[in-house]
Amino acid sequence: MAHADLKTVNGEKVLMVDGRPFIMLAGEVHNSNSSSPEYMEAIWDLADTLHMNTLLLPVTWEMTEPEEGKYCFDTVDALIGQARQHHKKIAFLWFGAWKNAACMYAPEWVKTDTERFLRAEGTKGKKGTVLPSGMPYTTLSAFCEETKRKDAQAFALLLSHIREMDEKESTVIAVQVENETGLLGSGRDHCDAADRAFEKPVPEGLQAYLQSHPEYLTDAFRKAWNKKEGENREASWSDVFGSMAEEAFMAYYTASYVNAVAEAGKKEYPLPMTVNCWLDQGGGAGAFPSGGPTANMFPIWKFAAPSIDILCPDIYVPYFAEVCRQYTRGGNPLYIPECAVHSYAGPREIFVIGHHHALCYAPFGFEEIGRPFNAVQGMLFGMDTSDPALKTPQDAEQYAKINSYLESILPQLGEAYGTSRLQGTSSECSEKTMHFGTFDFEAAFDSPFLKHHNGACLMLQKSENEFLALVLGCRLSAVSTDPERPSTEYLLVEEGTYQNGIWHPGRRLNGDETSIMCFDDPTLLQIRVHAF
């Protein structure tokens, strides 16, 4: 069987695993947990309970190459073995030179040789700093050829090892290259190598690429970009990118570094490769990692990192739907490696699969799902906002139910990716109507008949008037769009489950239930409608 791959179907990228479309109903574990297969035992069990089909697991440079040139893949092997026992897939996260824009996962021999492995200098001559938050901070420089060479070498050996032991079984289906790259505390690196690069003109081809890919440009980027293609081949970063010069410069060189690592890995085993992003939440480059794949830097990353298949957002902010829109520009598939485990986690999973045909949805630190938030989670998940749903942990049972429904209809969903037969909406999505030819379905999430107002719905059209729906916290109404037959009635609304591809009906809903059509809990429905 071929290894996992991305295939374009009906103009959309679909993840193919074992020859079939696959959707990662995933979870990302806390940073340190996958360093111990023993510790992971209980986490695999929890993933079973939650009906997850994939785990996102860190693999670190420090554990892979503890001494220069001496590699160890024992933990990787053990994790793959556990995944197989639990019938799950893995996406590994390569914590190499960067993790949260810092270099904490570099091996000791890299950390302690600052002559050979250059540190970034946010301020000229300073290899470390204290961030405004009070956090001590240092990171490796994206401009150090030696770091790039060694990081890429270790990554390539990891991929070659995975190929050797897993190509036939395809347990590992994707790899994230580095984690939340960029530089904190400053707009750009000022080490000597970086200064020399900053003196050079903007690389040839970049501006032409920007001209021919308007779909990737944000309004802010357009505003900063001073188009000068052809006029001045010596144009500097400041000439061309004005107020965004430092961030654009860092994005180009950080993406080029990551691309070299990804390329080395792909030569050994061409699995789908991703990068994740610490989002730009304002405050200027440096308040968020300067040079990471933010919405504004999207086109520069696409240009400089062709070996990266998908740019991915880590979404902890409340404006979730807007971030999804930003990260699906120009056909970038939606792949969410990290998101919050507050009570939007379940509805958002339904939404991203229905509306965006997402390839991966992974709440971060799902080990704590359902438990009261600690202070860090509170801050990350927006406890300071007025929306009570952001302060409420995701109910674990509800999440398991959603995943079990999604898992049971995964082949049907996967086949509908790239078509308008699969649509979705949510309380956070501005478009609440799903259009299916003769019928529209309107979803409402603010009905007084509903217990919660954070809901979602996905619908799969099976024939002109037959639909499969997964609803949660949602009121649904069918509307005929045929002017000759303007009225609509339900012929069948049936709860049920799919088991091994066979529909097992539950209650047949009618009367009060179909007059109101409100669903507080995750519910899978077969619906047949009639226009007259």
Binding site for ligand DGJ (CB under 6 A): 31, 100, 179-180, 314, 338, 364, 380
385 vs 510, which CB is nearer to ligand DGJ? 385
5 vs 368, which CB is nearer to ligand DGJ? 368
59 vs 460, which CB is nearer to ligand DGJ? 59
Q: What is the DSSP letter of 126?
A: B
Residue with nearest beta carbon to ligand DGJ: 180
Backbone angles phi, psi at 300, to 5 degrees: -70, -40
303 vs 381, which CB is nearer to ligand DGJ? 381
Taking the complex as a whole, how short is the minimal distance between the CB of residue 377 and ligand DGJ, in angstroms?
8
Q: Judge whether 213 and 321 are in contact, CB under 8 Å.
A: no
User: Would you call 110 helix, strand, or coil by DSSP?
Assistant: helix
Taking the complex as a whole, how short is the minimal distance between the CB of residue 58 and ligand DGJ, in angstroms?
8
Beta-sheet strands, E only, within 253-309: 273-277
- The length of the chain is 532
CB-CB neighbours of 463 under 10 Å: 8
Closest CA to 165 of 60, 78, 96: 78
Could you give the count of Cα atoms lying within 13 Å of 230 in the half-sphere of its Cβ? 3
342 vs 401, which CB is nearer to ligand DGJ? 342
Residue with tokens 């109910």: 395
User: How would you class 74 by CB atoms within 10 Å of its CB: exposed for 0-12, middle for 13-18, buried for 19 or more?
Assistant: exposed
277 vs 527, which CB is nearer to ligand DGJ? 277
Taking the complex as a whole, how short is the minimal distance between the CB of residue 180 and ligand DGJ, in angstroms?
5
Taking the complex as a whole, how short is the minimal distance between the CB of residue 65 and ligand DGJ, in angstroms?
20
Residue with tokens 């070659």: 160
56 vs 118, which CB is nearer to ligand DGJ? 56
DSSP symbols for 150-206: HHHHHHHHHHHHHHHHHTTT--EEEEEEEES-SBSSSSS--SHHHHHHHHSPPPTTH
31 vs 82, which CB is nearer to ligand DGJ? 31
DSSP symbols for 218-248: -HHHHHH----TTT-TT--HHHHHGGGHHHH
Closest CA to 95 of 138, 158, 43, 24: 158
Closest CA to 269 of 154, 183, 350, 157: 157
Q: Rounded to an integer, what distance in angstroms lies between the CA atom of residue 67 and that of residue 415?
A: 47
Taking the complex as a whole, how short is the minimal distance between the CB of residue 99 and ligand DGJ, in angstroms?
7
Per the structure block, which two tokens stand in for 208? 């032409």
Contacts of 150 (CB under 8 A, 6+ apart): 68, 110, 117
State the DSSP H helix or E strand holding residue 416, giving kind and residue range, or none if neither.
helix 410-416
367 vs 407, which CB is nearer to ligand DGJ? 367
Taking the complex as a whole, how short is the minimal distance between the CB of residue 278 and ligand DGJ, in angstroms?
7
104 vs 157, which CB is nearer to ligand DGJ? 104
Taking the complex as a whole, how short is the minimal distance between the CB of residue 137 and ligand DGJ, in angstroms?
14
368 vs 407, which CB is nearer to ligand DGJ? 368
52 vs 468, which CB is nearer to ligand DGJ? 52
Quick one: three-class SS letters along 312-349? EEEECCCCHHHHHHHCCHHHCCCEEEEECCECCHHHHH
Taking the complex as a whole, how short is the minimal distance between the CB of residue 84 and ligand DGJ, in angstroms?
25
Residue 33 Cα to chain centre, angstroms: 20
Taking the complex as a whole, how short is the minimal distance between the CB of residue 72 and ligand DGJ, in angstroms?
22
Taking the complex as a whole, how short is the minimal distance between the CB of residue 17 and ligand DGJ, in angstroms?
24
Q: Rounded to an integer, what distance in angstroms lies between the CA atom of residue 20 and that of residue 12?
A: 15
Taking the complex as a whole, how short is the minimal distance between the CB of residue 344 and ligand DGJ, in angstroms?
16
Taking the complex as a whole, how short is the minimal distance between the CB of residue 381 and ligand DGJ, in angstroms?
10
